[in-house]
Amino acid sequence: MKSRWQDTEAEAMVTRYAQQGIGRDVALRVYTSRLLGQDPLLVMHGGGNTSVKTTVKDLSGDDVEALCVKGSGWDMGDIEPAGLPAVRMTPLLKLRERDKLSDEDMVRFQRANLLDPGSPNPSVETLLHAFLPHKFVDHTHSTAVLSIADQPNAAELCAEIYGKRMGLVPYIMPGFALAKKAAEVYEADPSVEGLVLLKHGIFTFGKDAREAYERMIAMVTRAEERLATKRKTVFDAAPLPKSLANVAAIGPIIRGIAAEKDAKQEGAWRRLVLDFRASPAVLAYVNGTELKRYAQHGVVTPDHTIRTKNIPLILPAPDAGDLAGFKKAARQSADAFVAAYHAYFQRNNAGRDPAKRELDPLPRVALVPGVGLFGMGRSKKDAAIAADIAENTVLTITDAEAIGTFEALSEADLFDMEYWSLEQAKLGSAAEKPLAGQVVAITGGAGAIGAACAKLFKDNGAEVAVLDLDGNAATVAAKKLGGTALGLACDVLDASSISAAFDRVAAHFGGVDIVISNAGAASQGRIGEVDEAVLRKSFELNFFAHQRVAQAAVKIMLAQGTGGCLLFNVSKQAINPGPDFGPYGLPKAATLFLSRQYALDYGKDGIRANAVNADRIRSGLLTPEMIAERSKARGLSEHDYMSGNLLGREVTAEDVAQAFLHQALSLKTTADVTTVDGGNIAATLR
């Protein structure tokens, strides 16, 4: 690992922050924190922390000796000075005299001594930073160092690699006791340049930012060099089926077995979203004959527990010719995983601490021989974080096994970390949105109604796939939604295009739960005279396309086994035909009955089917030119034409999206038609 320190960059940062009134020490602290935080082999997703001891002004303008230490919720890779809250040094040092300090008291004490009460909580490792005398202290969960520190003979290895340059701290959970122990190890030999924390990570320190940072790089490099020597063959590959099922085929099965019924609401499921990885390193790892031994010890550093749980779910290699067999075996594995998690909680919470409530027992990582690994989470973002950490774990354990044997923490230590209130607090307690964990695919997704649906469903917590005939428009629409939305080309007239798009959705998110079949176009002709070709073409788009989309979705929903919701955009034409609009209204009427047929045939599978019959929405079907022409023909202003309904209110794409959302959330509603037309008595139902 190379040092990325550059004098010019460092000085540029000092100059830039000086303009904001930030001192040199904090500016350089930001600079090297980012250097460390941008390398996933050192720090991932909020892990690690850094500090500087400096003089800052308090709110009354007086100089105060303070520790500026990474705040909770900040990522080192893009940290700002605000992410390094200042805590008064003198009171922090006084704590050293105590014998005991509870986590809650520690947090309260640290908060009480913040210079700015609006700051985020200082890191749970603040006291460790404070008790070391050095000006700059850096802490990472380096992959290479963990490959060494997660060995039964880690002490010997560290002596071999570092001699007396690094102190060795036994595993203690982060907090007051660890801070005291680390200080004692340092004081026993103040010549050390850093500390290796067994089964946790590494600290380095120095008189200035560069020294602390470059010591980190040097010590990690030494670990890397050791890992490159005296290696043994790591993983012997287990035999695999001749033809392996692909991610699109197994994603929905895995998503299904990793879902649980929501006890609070009949018909509701707690689902997870998936994120797939298959680097050569991942494949070598999941294909190993001893996977069950080396992969199920526990996390490589305790901080990862909240993201990945302690152990992954291991599934069999999926034979493409026997998906049913894979599903059955995967279900058994998942049931065993959940049962083992309940037992783990019971075993380790023997004191029945009422403050500890069992977390959901679902896995957050699945390993599939022959295929790769899946990160799982309540959102695509969380799934990707779990997958990032799982990939990092693969590297750590691979290197550990190459020079020895990977050994994780004891189960009791893992439990203490997983159920540590301060760790749980990192995940936040914000209420989940109603569609969290669900995936929605929307055809015609780049048009007015599609885009309104995409936004509303995304705002309600769903992961969104925007499908549109125009692939570029779909990508743009997805980008506009921001975050994790996916944009895909999909020609609903072409069955192979539909199945390719749904395969992509299944491979990307792990499946689909809600489909808004929205693509369509109006065509006209007096029914007695219209060319049959016009009628057939309209049936292709306004009926058969809905059928093909629904079929592709149902296939995935059945593989998941967690129900689902089909939503069809049928026009008021389905109920109240307009003159000369037969070619449009007839297939829409058939689509209305299509939704009822799906409701009937798949109700027992928990799949609901509903339709919205909307009228007079500004969209690709009703362009500004058409509005101008029609209002003129009726002698109305455009406003009066658009709001020409019982309520006298113009109906918008957002109103249609609201109706679809309502149907998606109403778990006891199927075969429903919701009218969104401001009142059109001839188009009412029954």
Q: In the window 417-476, what residues touch Zn ion (CB under 5 A)?
A: none
Sign of CA dihedral 31, 37, 40, 42: positive
Nearest CB to Zn ion, comparing residues 79 and 653: 79
From residue 241 to residue 280, the character string flagging contacts with Zn ion as x (rule: CB under 5 A) and all else as - is ----------------------------------------
Look at residues 46, 120, 114 and name the one whose alpha carbon lies nearest to residue 83. 120
What minimum distance in Å lies between the beta carbon of 543 and Zn ion? 59
Q: How far is the CB of 566 from Zn ion (least distance, A)?
A: 47
Smallest gap from Cβ 141 to Zn ion, in A, equals 6
Instruction: Please say whether the beta carbons of 216 and 36 come within 8 A.
Output: yes
Question: Amino acid identity, residue 554?
Answer: V
Burial class (CB in 10 A: 0-12, 13-18, 19+), 31: buried
Question: Of 201 and 511, which CB lies nearer to Zn ion in the complex structure?
Answer: 201
For Zn ion, the closer of residues 50 and 475 by Cβ is 50
Tokens of 26: 């904090």
> Which CB sits closer to Zn ion, 44 or 64?
44
Helical (H) or strand (E) element with 443: strand 439-443
Phi, psi (5° rounding) for residue 194?
Answer: 180, -175
* Residue 577 DSSP label: P
The rounded distance, in Å, linking the Cα atoms of 660 and 665 is 9
48: amino acid identity, one letter: G
Question: Alpha-carbon distance 506 to 556, whole Å?
Answer: 8
Site mask for Zn ion (CB under 5 A), range 344-383, x = bound: ----------------------------------------
Which region holds residue 664: left if phi is over 0, alpha if psi is between -120 and 50, else beta? alpha
Toward Zn ion, which CB reaches closer, 172 or 495?
172
To Zn ion, the closest distance from the beta carbon of 201 in angstroms equals 5
Tokens (6 digits) for 472: 């570029």
**Residues 26, 209: Cα–Cα separation, whole Å:** 10
Binding mask 182-201 for Zn ion (x = CB under 5 A): -------------------x
Structure tokens at 240: 């695999």
Write down the least CB distance from residue 351 to Zn ion, Å: 26
Beta-carbon contacts of 411 under 8 Å, excluding residues fewer than 6 positions away, are: 298, 310, 344, 347, 348
Encoding tokens for residue 98?
Answer: 């105590």
Alpha helices in 540-611 (DSSP H): 545-560, 582-602
Q: Shortest Cβ contact with Zn ion: which residue?
A: 201
Q: Would you say 364 and 255 are in contact if contact means Cβ atoms under 8 Å apart?
A: no
Burial of 354 (0-12, 13-18, 19+ CB in 10 A): exposed
CA distance 514 to 525: 34
Nearer to Zn ion, 201 or 582 (CB): 201
Beta pairing, strands 514-517 & 564-571 = parallel
CB neighbour class for 433 (10 Å; exposed up to 12, middle 13-18, buried from 19): middle
- Whether 150 contacts 200, CB under 8 Å: no
For the CB of residue 51, give the shortest distance to Zn ion in the complex, in Å.
13
* Number of residues counted as binding Zn ion (CB under 5 A): 1
The contact pattern for Zn ion, residues 200-229, with x = CB under 5 A and - = no contact, is: -x----------------------------
Distance from the Cα of residue 644 to its chain's centroid: 45
Of 171 and 539, the one with the shorter C-beta distance to Zn ion is: 171
| b/e sequence 157-186, b meaning 16+ C-beta within 10 Å | bbeebbeebbbbbebbbbbbebbbbbbebb
Token pair for 116: 């700015």
Minimum CB distance to Zn ion smaller for 124 or for 311: 124
Q: Minimum distance between the CB of residue 42 and Zn ion, rounded to whole angstroms?
A: 12
* CB of 225 vs Zn ion, minimal distance in Å: 23
Residues 77-116 that bind Zn ion (CB under 5 A): none
Which residue type sits at 154? A
Residue 45 CB, nearest distance to Zn ion (Å)? 13
Least Å distance, CB 139 to Zn ion, is: 6
Give the nearer residue to Zn ion in terms of CB position, either 137 or 566.
137
Q: At its nearest, how many Å lie between Zn ion and the CB of residue 140?
A: 8
Burial class (CB in 10 A: 0-12, 13-18, 19+), 684: middle
Query: Which residues, numbered 600-619, are part of the site for Zn ion (CB under 5 A)?
Result: none
Closest CB 41 distance from Zn ion, rounded Å = 15
DSSP assignment letter at 313: E
Name which of 201 and 587 has its Cβ closer to Zn ion: 201
Smaller CB separation from Zn ion, 35 or 545:
35
Q: For residues 84 and 614, which CB has a smaller minimum distance to Zn ion in the complex?
A: 84
In the chain, the amino acid numbered 489 is A
In the complex, minimum distance from the CB of residue 395 to Zn ion, in angstroms, rounded to a whole number? 18
CB of residue 673 to Zn ion, shortest distance in Å: 56
Give one DSSP letter per residue of 485-548, joined into a string.
-EEEE--TT-HHHHHHHHHHHHHHHS--SEEEE-------B-TTTS-HHHHHHHHIIIIIHHHH
Q: Which of residues 290-309 bind Zn ion (CB under 5 A)?
A: none
Query: Cβ 303 to Zn ion, closest distance in Å?
Result: 6
Nearer to Zn ion, 66 or 202 (CB): 202
Nearer Cβ to Zn ion, position 201 or 298? 201
Our CA angle for 511, 330, 309, nearest 5°, is 80
Token output for 294 = 């080396």
In terms of CB distance, is 174 or 510 closer to Zn ion?
Answer: 174
Give 396 or 542: the residue with its C-beta nearer to Zn ion: 396
Nearest distance in Å: CB 198, Zn ion? 12
- Positions touching Zn ion (CB under 5 A) are 201
